[in-house]
Amino acid sequence: MTQPMLNVTDLHATVAGKPILDGLSLAVNAGEVHAIMGPNGSGKSTLAYVLGGRPGYEVTGGTVTLDGEDLLAMEPHERAAQGLFLGFQYPVEIPGVSNVHFLRTALNAQRRAREEKEMSAGDFLRLAREQADALDLSMDMMKREVNVGFSGGEKKRAEMVQMGIIAPRLAILDETDSGLDIDALRIVGAGINRIMRGANKAVVLITHYQRLLDIVVPDFVHVLAGGRVIRSGSAELAHQLEREGYAEVAQ
């Protein structure tokens, strides 16, 4: 039997000594999109940060493997080199560093870690332009400081450009739809489909709302409450949550 790309088993985690994840289990196979939904405080963002290796999130039990390797034993940069991409609900600003410089540095660091040849400046600029055009982001914006002065929608589109350039195998996207208007939602959703739909890739999409799932249609929807998955189903489960709310569905 083929092992899942991402396998989370009985995961427990605390933040500042407070238990947040309480026995969460999740298996994601290559080629799948999994949506994670749940009320505020249910552990959705904590799951994303634990998988990404953010400091301050202490794992107190359970295991996580990525392609059979112990993810929790890796440093954040090692997780990235292994193929994991973490998209933030609130992308951070990095004053003094241009998007182009940041992304070429990140991409070549990962290529070195995988013992691949670094990408030349010319090849990188062609790749960056291709990805930026697909997300309706100008190269002038790509030359600006990372997220500095960007609107909420521009930050999310810039993050999708990052994902397109890095080309991860597993994307953990934490409320990517937050702050997006209708047009930006369509552009970002189409970007996720274009970049991450494939037999050797997978997505864990954390969201409060069903609207993004009309564009990025999930194979499975999971409801989190109290730090664990309490219900799983097909894409229809998201529509049920939209109609009835978490309280009714969680019963």
pLDDT score recorded for residue 250 = 65
Residue 27 lies in a domain: yes
27: which strand partners?
7
- CA nearest neighbour of 181 among 161, 148, 217, 152: 152
Residue 148 lies in a domain: no
Answer yes or no: are the C-beta atoms of 11 and 21 closer than 8 Å.
Answer: yes
Amino acid in position 146: V
User: What is the total count of domains within the chain?
Assistant: 1
pLDDT at residue 2 above 80?
no
Answer yes or no: are the C-beta atoms of 202 and 30 closer than 8 Å.
Answer: yes
Residue 109 lies in a domain: no
pLDDT at residue 1 above 70?
no
Residue 241 lies in a domain: yes
d(CA 211, CA 229): 21
pTM of the model: 0.93
- CA nearest neighbour of 159 among 246, 217, 174: 174
d(CA 186, CA 178): 13
Report DSSP letters for 170-227, one per residue. EEEEESTTTT--HHHHHHHHHHHHHHH-STT-EEEEE-S-SGGGGTS--SEEEEEETT
Residue 64 lies in a domain: yes
With a pLDDT cut of 90, the percent of the chain lying above it is 73
What Rg, from alpha-carbon coordinates, does the chain have? 18
Residues 42-81 have pLDDT tens digits of: 999 999 999 999 999 999 999 999 999 999 999 999 999 9
Residues 126-178 have pLDDT tens digits of: 999 999 999 988 989 899 999 999 988 889 899 999 999 999 999 999 988 88
pLDDT score recorded for residue 164 = 95
Q: Which of 115-124, 156-165, 202-211, 239-248 has the lowest mean pLDDT?
A: 239-248
| Domain range for 18 | 6-95+168-249
Residue 122 lies in a domain: no
Q: What is the CATH number of the domain that holds 198?
A: 3.40.50.300
Residue 153 lies in a domain: no
Residue 130 lies in a domain: no
Q: Are strands 94-98 and 145-146 parallel, antiparallel or unpaired?
A: antiparallel
pLDDT at residue 105 above 90?
yes
